[in-house]
Chains A and B, each alone.
Chain A
Amino acid sequence: MNIFAPIGRALLLLLAQIGRLSMFTWSAVTGVFRPPIYWWHIFQQFLRIGYFSLPVVGLTAFFTGGALALQIYMGGNRYGAEAIVPQIVVLGITRELGPVIAGLMVAGRVAAAIAAEIGTMRVTEQIDALTTLATNPIKYLVVPRLLAAVISMPILVAIADIIGVFGGYVVATQSLDFSGGIYLKNTVDFMTDQDVMSGLYKAAAFGFIIALMGCYNGFHSKGGAQGVGAATTNAVVSSSILILAANYVLTSVLFSK
């Protein structure tokens, strides 16, 4: 047996996958600019993706901010630099942890739900039914989810930023003997627009990744319940990895000076 055959086959499969994803992305993105636009669907998805993710994103942001304050205090203590807690907490939350943690939580919640829903529609021929009813399934299903995710993620992250800083504030003032007023003053004085905005740009990109991966995997699922299960897993895994990779790329681009 030729040892190059399996390598070639895997490579071809990978290239086919990349091609399919590129074409899917292209038709989804161009679909945003072509009528009809389903406003009601965008609003519904905005609620599902944004509003209903608030509790989970808020809780994780709160605990992350709290843990961050503790770590910085204990780490800073070694150099006698424990007073820097508010500055590092706000920097860490707005630039990195807010968008990344919110992105990963929403990926788990939303990418999975989108993939499962669209995957089930695929295997029960509902997507074919849309086509036969002269409705473009990309515009009807994918575009609203994509728009809703790109709009709602920055809003979610802005809220997560506030709650994360508040988590640090609670820990610092309740168990680390910081004065509340000074903590807040240091936070506000230190923070720049760029810290916050960079995080919000990231959030929009992560929203795009989450909706795209959910829709793409759902759309291309096959073979009944098992196929839908695999699509859901792939959606969460691929969107999580892409979020972390994109986070690195965006960080290096946004802060290159």
Chain B
Amino acid sequence: MTPKIELKGVKKRFGPKVVLDGVDLVLEPGQSLVVIGGSGTGKSVTIKCVLGILTPDAGQILVDGKDVTHLRGRGRDEMLKKFGMLFQGAALFDSLTVWENVAFGLIQGRGMARRKAKDIAIQKLAKVGMGAEVANLAPSELSGGMQKRVGLARAIAADPEIIFFDEPTTGLDPIMADVINNLIVDTVKDVGATTLSITHDMTSARRIADKIAMLYKGKIIWHGPTKQIDTSGNAFVDQFIHGRAEGPIKMEVRG
């Protein structure tokens, strides 16, 4: 079976700082992969390379077996129509209302009529447990957790084949984090999407992942099914999942 997404030796550096040092990653269709790793290990950069927000210095990125590493313009836009993304800070457009945010990809990206797009937006909001009464509010009138839900509704609005989650639970209280985790599991099952999430929240990772990969110093140092994460036998993984200050991973206090 052709992998949904495949990264082959992806490298990216910013000036002298090497962020990705040959990342290899395979995402099978329908799978939910979670990439874990500390802050600044290149998790976000990995996602941005796949989406084409950043261009890798070396290596290859394949989506549905097609090389998209240097795809630009219209081709890139077409490829992006397969994707949905939930940003860390939700990244809602604050000049638009909640429903316009959810329907943005439908109206701008696909040229759907506003009335029809609004109906779909309200359906998607219902899927993330929000009523039609929030549809005409501004994003700034919502709490952080609510904004995340709207972000999730926006990510699934166009029924994408692939959804990316960037730190979906960061900055939320534990209960709201669990609500978001549930929503992710349910909605992904619902639309049958392939997902790639990045997080350092192990509770969240265990909830949403079929498979976990750990990124450290720009490389994938371990990957395997979620069940095996506690018996990985990898000292780096053990230190990370138990949150110990002592171990092979040394925190660089000076960055």
- Which residues of A are at the interface with B, using a C-beta cutoff of 8 A? 36, 121, 124-126, 128-136, 140
Contacts of B85 in A (CB 8 A): 129, 132
Q: Say which residue of A126, A128, A134, A136 sits within 8 Å of B53 (CB atoms).
A: A128
A136 to B77, CA, bound (A): 8
Query: In the complex, what's the smallest C-beta–C-beta distance from B52 to chain A, in angstroms?
Result: 7
Query: In the complex, what's the smallest C-beta–C-beta distance from B155 to chain A, in angstroms?
Result: 9
Indicate whether A131 sits within 8 Å of B87 (C-beta atoms), given known contacts A126-B93, A136-B77, A140-B108. no
Contacts of B105 in A (CB 8 A): 133-135
| CB pairs A–B below 8 angstroms (24 shown) | A121-B93, A125-B88, A125-B91, A126-B91, A126-B93, A128-B51, A128-B91, A129-B85, A129-B92, A130-B93, A131-B51, A131-B53, A131-B80, A132-B51, A132-B85, A133-B104, A133-B109, A133-B154, A134-B109, A134-B110, A135-B105, A135-B108, A135-B109, A136-B77
Query: In the complex, what's the smallest C-beta–C-beta distance from A63 to chain B, in angstroms?
Result: 34
A128 to B87, CA, bound (A): 9
Indicate whether A125 sits within 8 Å of B109 (C-beta atoms), given known contacts A131-B52, A131-B80, A133-B104. no
Q: Name which residue of chain A comes closest to B111, CB basis.
A: A36
B207 close to chain A: CB less than 8 A:
no
Q: Are A124 and B109 in contact (CB under 8 A)?
A: no
**B84-117 toward A: CB 8 Å interface, digit per residue (1/0)?**
1101110111100000000011001110000000
Query: 8 Å CB contacts to A: which residues of B47-95?
Result: 48, 51-53, 77-78, 80-81, 83-85, 87-89, 91-94
Contacts of A133 in B (CB 8 A): 80, 104-105, 108-109, 154
Query: In the complex, what's the smallest C-beta–C-beta distance from B120 to chain A, in angstroms?
Result: 14
Q: Are B87 and A125 in contact (CB under 8 A)?
A: yes
Contacts of A125 in B (CB 8 A): 87-89, 91
Contacts of A126 in B (CB 8 A): 91-94
Contacts of A140 in B (CB 8 A): 108
Q: Say which residue of B78, B80, B88, B94 sits within 8 Å of A132 (CB atoms).
A: B80
Q: Say which residue of A36, A129, A135 sits within 8 Å of B87 (CB atoms).
A: A129
Query: In the complex, what's the smallest C-beta–C-beta distance from A85 to chain B, in angstroms?
Result: 48
Query: In the complex, what's the smallest C-beta–C-beta distance from B166 to chain A, in angstroms?
Result: 8
A135 to B104, CA, bound (A): 9
A118 to B5, CA, bound (A): 32
> Counting chain B CB atoms within 10 Å of each CB, which of A130, A132, A135, A140 scores highest?
A132
Contacts of B84 in A (CB 8 A): 132
> Counting chain B CB atoms within 10 Å of each CB, which of A128, A130, A133 scores highest?
A133
Can you add 18 more A-B contacts, CB < 8 Å, to A121-B93, A133-B105, A134-B109?
A36-B108, A125-B87, A125-B88, A128-B53, A128-B87, A129-B85, A129-B92, A129-B93, A131-B53, A131-B80, A132-B85, A133-B80, A133-B104, A133-B109, A134-B105, A134-B110, A135-B104, A136-B77
Query: 8 Å CB contacts to A: which residues of B137-164?
Result: 154
Query: In the complex, what's the smallest C-beta–C-beta distance from A124 to chain B, in angstroms?
Result: 6
A136 to B109, CA, bound (A): 9
Q: Say which residue of A121, A128, A129, A134 sits within 8 Å of B77 (CB atoms).
A: A134
Q: Name which residue of chain A comes closest to B93, CB basis.
A: A126
A140 to B77, CA, bound (A): 14
Q: Name which residue of chain B comes closest to A136, CB basis.
A: B77
Q: Name which residue of chain A comes closest to B101, CB basis.
A: A129
Q: Name which residue of chain B comes closest to A123, CB basis.
A: B89
Contacts of A135 in B (CB 8 A): 104-105, 108-109
Q: Are A124 and B89 in contact (CB under 8 A)?
A: yes
Q: Name which residue of chain B comes closest to A128, CB basis.
A: B53
Q: Name which residue of chain A comes closest to B54, CB basis.
A: A128
